[in-house]
Structure 1
Amino acid sequence: MHELGVVHRGVVRPDRRAVDALKPFGVSTVHEAMGRLGLMRPYIRPVYPGAAMCGTAVTVLLQPGDNWMLHVAVEQLQPGDVLVAACTTECEDGFFGELLATSVRARGGMGLVIDGGCRDVTALREMDFPVFSRAVNSKGTVKATLGSVNVPVVCANALVRPGDVVVADADGVVVVPADRVAEVAEASRRREDLEEEKRARLAAGELGLDMYAMREPLEAAGLRYVD
């Protein structure tokens, strides 16, 4: 059951150094390093090319067609936070635009992930304010119905708790639980180091068939070459 009409103010955020250690890594790397977990559904897309961010989640539960709680959530932002907004039911209305982005940035917020719509895309791009949304939609919203702020939400099939870390780029959005940030940052670094070695070998002409020792299992599976 959704918890409505409440704002939790005592969000425990991960150590800033751990969050900073995660920032160099992309969504695909973090997702793999975390055991192929945490991805939001791929319909959540950046609203302009090049949008990317990594920050701690302030979560918002919205009612359909109503952005009241986004305004409430802005007050709870601390520098380095990202708004993560879900809705009590599917809705693609334009919950968020340039004015709210201006307010979020003034509080030190880094961007927005929303399982809903946003608008003012040209202005957001000019501001370089990252938004990852379900839709771009000019349809406006009202301010009439309570939702909640800083409660666990399910955003595009991913569970997000206040204080979790959200990484977003052209490949999508991944959520790292707050208590795993340092571990996942280190696993991501190790994965990147290994990929750099593989990249060099592939660039030198070595085949993935040999690098990954695929030939014997392919033969055992019955693969035949016909000249």
Structure 2
Amino acid sequence: MPISAAIEEALLKAASALSSATLHEAAGRVGALPTNIKPIDPTMTICARAFPVRCPPGDNLWIHRALAAAAPGEALVVDTGAGREYGYWGEIMGTSAQARGLAGLVISGGVRDVAALRKLGLPTFSACVSIRDTVKDPSADGAFGEAVAIGDVRISRGDLVFGDADGVVVLTPDQARSAVRVGIDRDAQELAILDRVRAGALTLDVYKL
């Protein structure tokens, strides 16, 4: 599957100035991944094109394969199915991803070597931290570059994946274009609201409640 050219760099740059909550609401309250997926460091953010990966529970071979296949600037978005409680990713894989110019990792399972990963600085979003190791079965079913589903969100290669301290949102290119436009206006309106609240206005009055 060719790398999507639908999300242009200008759109990524504009999206990077927003937040996960803004993009989620501006898109019509869609695209939010499960709430347990959070950054290993609250200062980490990610805004990139998605490279989906599906791996069997407790097996990370397909993630190693995806590290070799993803293009610079893409972020691995990994569906681990029911196998959340494993450490699929650690310092060595994070270092490899950074060396290859990948934008980061979003995974529905666990990671480990968290202290080292924080020092590395590669944006890493996971459902948990787990010291349980994984196997590498070459016959196990998995895939990379094909659409996956995490929670109720379908993720295809080239979709916008955005994460910050509050969580992760994934939007199709069309959803992203609309959400970024709406989100910029929304943030401008919120700045005006903050000015009124700082001046003493009640939220009941501001929101006409």
TM-score, normalization by structure 1: 0.87
Q: 3-state DSSP class of the match of 2:64?
A: helix
Aligned length: 206
CA offset at residue 91 of structure 1? 2.9
Query: 1:112 is matched with which residue?
Result: 105
Aligned residue identity for 1:23: S
**Equivalent residue for 1:155, pick from 150, 157, 177:** 150
Which shifted more, 15-24 or 115-124?
15-24
Q: Aligned pair 1:36/2:17, yes or no?
A: no
Task: Work out whether residues 79 and 109 of structure 2, in 8 Å CA contact, stay in contact via their aligned partners in 1.
Answer: yes
**What is the root-mean-square deviation of aligned Cα atoms in Å?**
1.3
**Equivalent residue for 1:11, pick from 3, 27, 44:** 3
Unaligned runs of 5+ in 1: 1-8, 215-227
CA offset at residue 183 of structure 1? 2.0
Aligned residue identity for 1:167: F
In the alignment, the residues of structure 1 paired with residue 73 and residue 179 of structure 2 have an alpha-carbon distance, to the nearest angstrom, of 18
Moved over 3 A (4+): none
1:4-83 pair list within 5 angstroms = 9-13=1-5, 14-83=7-76
CA offset at residue 173 of structure 1? 0.5
Query: 1:166 is matched with which residue?
Result: 161
TM-score, normalization by structure 2: 0.94
Q: 3-state DSSP class of the match of 2:189?
A: helix
Unaligned runs of 5+ in 2: none
Tell which structure's C-alpha radius of gyration is larger: 1
In the alignment, the residues of structure 1 paired with residue 184 and residue 88 of structure 2 have an alpha-carbon distance, to the nearest angstrom, of 36
1:82-121 pair list within 5 angstroms = 82-121=75-114
Task: Work out whether residues 44 and 156 of structure 1, in 8 Å CA contact, stay in contact via their aligned partners in 2.
Answer: no
Which shifted more, 154-163 or 95-104?
154-163
In the alignment, the residues of structure 2 paired with residue 183 and residue 107 of structure 1 have an alpha-carbon distance, to the nearest angstrom, of 31
CA offset at residue 162 of structure 1? 1.1
Query: 1:188 is matched with which residue?
Result: 183
In the alignment, the residues of structure 2 paired with residue 88 and residue 45 of structure 1 have an alpha-carbon distance, to the nearest angstrom, of 17
CA offset at residue 31 of structure 1? 0.8
Task: Work out whether residues 67 and 95 of structure 1, in 8 Å CA contact, stay in contact via their aligned partners in 2.
Answer: yes
Which shifted more, 176-185 or 47-56?
176-185
